[in-house]
């Protein structure tokens, strides 16, 4: 389950990311996600992923932001990326 934590500050999006990717990262900032890709729970702080108190990855591409959002949706709702349920939820959330 995605858990909301208090974020330490406001996230400033890297210039190379699209507006949609920035919105994804702002939405996930301060949350914990049970990630299959990173084999456990990761915290999201800005565009950094934290596990065990260490930065394990930086979300610095639109593809990585999209993949992280896919994992968060799957973790929270059980939707498979690419499913009709997932696409409907993405449109509702981000337009």
Which whole-number Å values give the CA distances from 64 to 43, 51, 59, in the listed order?
15, 17, 6
Mean pLDDT score of the chain: 85
Per-residue pLDDT band for 8 (boundaries 50, 70, 90) equals: very low
Q: CA-based diameter of the chain, in Å? A: 36
Q: Is the pLDDT of residue 9 over 70?
A: no
**Cα 25-72-74 angle, rounded to 5 deg:** 150
Rg (CA), the chain: 13
Per-residue pLDDT reduced to its tens digit, 33-56: 999 888 999 999 999 999 999 999
Give me the number of domains the chain comprises: 1
Q: Which domain holds residue 16?
A: 3-94
The distance in angstroms from the start CA to the end CA of the chain is 24
Q: Is the pLDDT of residue 7 over 60?
A: no
């Amino acid at each position: 389950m995605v858990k909301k934590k208090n974020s330490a500050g406001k996230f400033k999006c890297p210039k190379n990311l699209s507006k949609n990717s920035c919105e994804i990262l702002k939405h996930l900032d301060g949350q914990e996600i049970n990630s299959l890709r990173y084999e456990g729970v990761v915290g999201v702080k800005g565009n950094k992923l934290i596990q065990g108190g260490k930065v394990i990855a930086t979300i610095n591409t639109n593809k990585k932001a999209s993949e992280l959002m896919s994992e968060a949706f799957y973790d929270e709702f059980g939707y498979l990326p690419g499913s009709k349920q997932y696409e409907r939820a993405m449109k509702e959330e981000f337009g």
